[in-house]
């Protein structure tokens, strides 16, 4: 299925397909794998949409990993309690075992006995299935302990990636970090990758001496893919399909999109679609593609706006219009956008930063998503 789609458009958005459609990251892949194969836990930190999750998935597909490790990818973005976390972790571990018909799989429900109720055989295929609801995790700490016991007993070392790790800080239970840390230290058979996009939250977790994860992982920061590297990748995908792409198209969009991988891929996907067979994509295509993307994102953007207070919306609009704002509480900025007091701007700003709609770099604020920024200016 995916192969057919990539035959139509090789610029994949939101999914890891294979090496062919994955741009570079060779150094980062090597570094991450080296840390993991040497038993070092890693904290992978980068702003949203630069490619942390994809990098981890890419690493997990490399033979050094597939031949020697069991790998688990757990995205905890949507979790809000320890119970949720244990649920997604159990699922990830179990799903990984599904294709295997060996003793290790059998062992799962022996060791993770608290989930035995969920063990069912599929009526049609006779295959075991994981039919557990959240509510079945009645003692999350017990199940967690069992999962770790199971991992410890595995016949290969395990790599567990916990994506959107900062989410753990929002759980109502206050001991989750300490609990995980203890298991992590006791389990000699597992190495962890913690990925997160909120730099200050991650830094607080891993760099503060009074926090459970203090000094427990090597920090690895991910930057944008280099412009030349991305240009080469994009141009060659066009050429493989009998189309061509002007280099200055890449230069221009790389600049406009700040080299953020996800936006680049969206843009290239659209530009590729707009370019007829045998034709060359030039900078003239950019405004059309840009408009198409704003159209497709329209519902999402409206939804995001609907979740903001009018003060927050006002501030967002002011930032979008200004492009980048240095002195956000200066009288001039407040007055020219009729934003009220500095303190109300501060509190609105906190929310916008927290939701990662606005980003701060060198004391300068801007809207993170350039398409969204453009959309706001056009709609409000």
Ligand X SMILES: Nc1ncnc2c1ncn2[C@@H]1O[C@H](COP(=O)(O)OP(=O)(O)O)[C@@H](O)[C@H]1O
Q: Which is nearer to ligand X, 25 or 198 (CB)?
A: 25
149 CB-contact burial (10 Å; exposed 0-12 / middle 13-18 / buried 19+): middle
**DSSP-H helix ranges across the chain:** 2-8, 26-37, 52-61, 63-66, 82-97, 103-111, 140-152, 176-186, 199-207, 227-240, 247-256, 261-274, 286-306, 310-322, 331-336, 342-354, 370-379
**Contact string (CB under 6 A) for ligand X, positions 345-364, x = contact:** --------------------
Reference 257, options 26, 50, 1; nearest CA is: 50
Which of 35, 36, 53, 334 contacts ligand X by CB under 6 A? 53
Report residue 81 as tokens: 């309690």
- Give every CB contact of residue 71 below 8 A, 6+ residues apart in sequence: 60, 65, 96, 158, 159, 160, 161
* Contact between 23 and ligand X per CB under 6 A: yes
Question: How far is the C-alpha of 119 from the C-alpha of 116, rounded, in Å?
Answer: 5
Question: How far is the C-alpha of 272 from the C-alpha of 174, rounded, in Å?
Answer: 48
Residue 173: count of CB within 10 angstroms of its CB: 14
CB of 361 to ligand X, least distance (A): 16
Which of 25, 35, 198, 243 contacts ligand X by CB under 6 A? 25
Q: What are phi and psi of 36, to 5 degrees?
A: -65, -45
* Contact between 261 and Mg ion per CB under 5 A: no
In the bound state, the residue with its beta carbon closest to ligand X is 51
Which of 6, 31, 37, 48 contacts ligand X by CB under 6 A? 48
Question: How far is the C-alpha of 33 from the C-alpha of 277, rounded, in Å?
Answer: 39
**Contact string (CB under 6 A) for ligand X, positions 143-182, x = contact:** ----------------------------------------
CB of 52 to ligand X, least distance (A): 3
Question: How far is the C-alpha of 273 from the C-alpha of 281, rounded, in Å?
Answer: 10
**Which of Mg ion, ligand X, none does residue 50 bind (CB under 5 to 8 Å by kind)?**
ligand X
CB of 229 to ligand X, least distance (A): 9
Q: Which is nearer to ligand X, 25 or 313 (CB)?
A: 25
* Contact between 53 and Mg ion per CB under 5 A: yes
Sole window of 50-58, 134-142, 246-254, 326-334 interacting with Mg ion (rule: CB under 5 A): 50-58
* Contact between 167 and Mg ion per CB under 5 A: no
* Contact between 268 and ligand X per CB under 6 A: no
* Contact between 265 and Mg ion per CB under 5 A: no
In the bound state, the residue with its beta carbon closest to Mg ion is 53
CB of 35 to ligand X, least distance (A): 18
Reference 253, options 224, 279, 223; nearest CA is: 224
Question: How far is the C-alpha of 106 from the C-alpha of 121, rounded, in Å?
Answer: 13
Instruction: List residues near ligand X by CB under 6 A.
Output: 12-14, 22-23, 25, 46, 48-54, 197, 261-262, 265
């Amino acid at each position: 299925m995916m192969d057919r789609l990539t035959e139509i458009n090789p610029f994949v958005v939101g999914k890891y397909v294979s090496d062919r459609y994955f741009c570079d990251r060779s150094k980062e892949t090597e570094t991450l794998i080296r840390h993991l194969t040497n038993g070092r836990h890693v904290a992978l930190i980068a702003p949203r949409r630069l490619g942390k999750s994809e990098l981890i998935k890419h690493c997990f597909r490399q033979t050094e990993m597939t031949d020697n490790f069991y790998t688990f990818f757990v995205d905890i973005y949507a979790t809000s309690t320890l119970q949720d976390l244990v649920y997604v972790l159990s699922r990830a571990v179990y799903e990984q075992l599904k294709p295997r018909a060996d003793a290790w799989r059998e062992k799962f429900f022996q060791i993770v006995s608290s989930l035995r109720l969920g063990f069912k055989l599929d009526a049609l295929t006779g295959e075991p299935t994981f039919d557990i609801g959240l509510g079945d995790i009645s003692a999350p700490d017990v199940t967690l302990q069992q999962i770790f016991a199971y991992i410890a007993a595995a016949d290969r070392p395990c790599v567990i990636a916990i994506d959107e790790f900062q989410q753990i800080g929002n759980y109502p239970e206050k001991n989750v970090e300490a609990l995980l840390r203890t298991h992590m230290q006791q389990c000699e058979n597992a190495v962890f990758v913690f990925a997160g996009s909120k730099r200050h939250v991650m830094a607080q977790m891993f760099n503060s001496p009074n926090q459970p994860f203090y000094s427990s992982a090597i920090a690895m920061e991910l930057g944008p893919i280099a412009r030349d590297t991305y240009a080469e990748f994009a141009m060659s995908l066009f050429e493989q399909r009998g189309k061509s792409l002007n280099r200055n198209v890449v230069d221009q969009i790389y600049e406009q999109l700040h080299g953020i991988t996800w936006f680049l891929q969206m843009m290239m996907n659209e530009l590729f679609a707009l370019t007829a067979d045998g034709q060359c994509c030039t900078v003239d295509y950019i405004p059309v593609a840009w408009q198409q993307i704003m159209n497709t994102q329209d519902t999402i953007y409206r939804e995001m706006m609907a979740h903001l207070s009018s003060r927050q919306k006002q501030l967002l609009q002011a930032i979008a219009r200004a492009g980048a704002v240095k002195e956000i509480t200066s009288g001039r900025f407040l007055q020219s956008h009729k934003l009220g007091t500095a303190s109300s701007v501060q509190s609105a700003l906190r929310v916008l930063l927290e939701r990662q709609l606005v980003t701060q770099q060198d004391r300068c604020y801007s809207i993170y998503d350039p398409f969204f920024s453009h959309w706001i200016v056009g709609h409000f």
